[in-house]
Amino acid sequence: MSFKIYAGNLNYQTTEDTLRQLFEQYGEVESVKIITDRDSGFSKGFGFVEMASEEAGEAAISALNQHEVDGRQLRVNKAHERGGRSSFGGDRSRGSSYRYY
């Protein structure tokens, strides 16, 4: 079962390849997705990394939270699946369906 991680406070120039290389030091990476603005296509400064195992994910979180990448200190936490409706009454069918604590 995969382990999904939130990576925040990303430099807007950080790429998915950069994140993949960083997280691969701690185990197999299944996917990397930097969230972008749907209108401009620019990074929103956060993304998600899916690791192949919980052990690899926990190791990556421990090592990379507050780690500096491209001049910014990362916020790295376990991602949690969020519910189907927002507090504003809309559905969350667009964009990411994960959050962090």
**Phi, psi of 75, deg, nearest 5:** -110, 115
Write out the residue range of the structural domain in which residue 46 sits.
3-78
Mean pLDDT of the chain: 88
- Number of structural domains in the chain: 1
Which residues make Cβ contacts (< 8 Å) with residue 63, sequence separation at least 6? Answer: 25, 26
Residues 32-72: pLDDT tens digits? 999 999 999 999 999 999 999 999 999 999 999 999 999 99
Q: What is the CATH number of the domain that holds 16?
A: 3.30.70.330
Residue 92 lies in a domain: no
Q: Is 1 exposed, middle or buried (0-12, 13-18, 19+ CB in 10 A)?
A: exposed
pLDDT value of position 45: 97
What CA–CA distance (Å, rounded) separates 51 from 20?
10
pLDDT value of position 71: 96
Residue 72 lies in a domain: yes
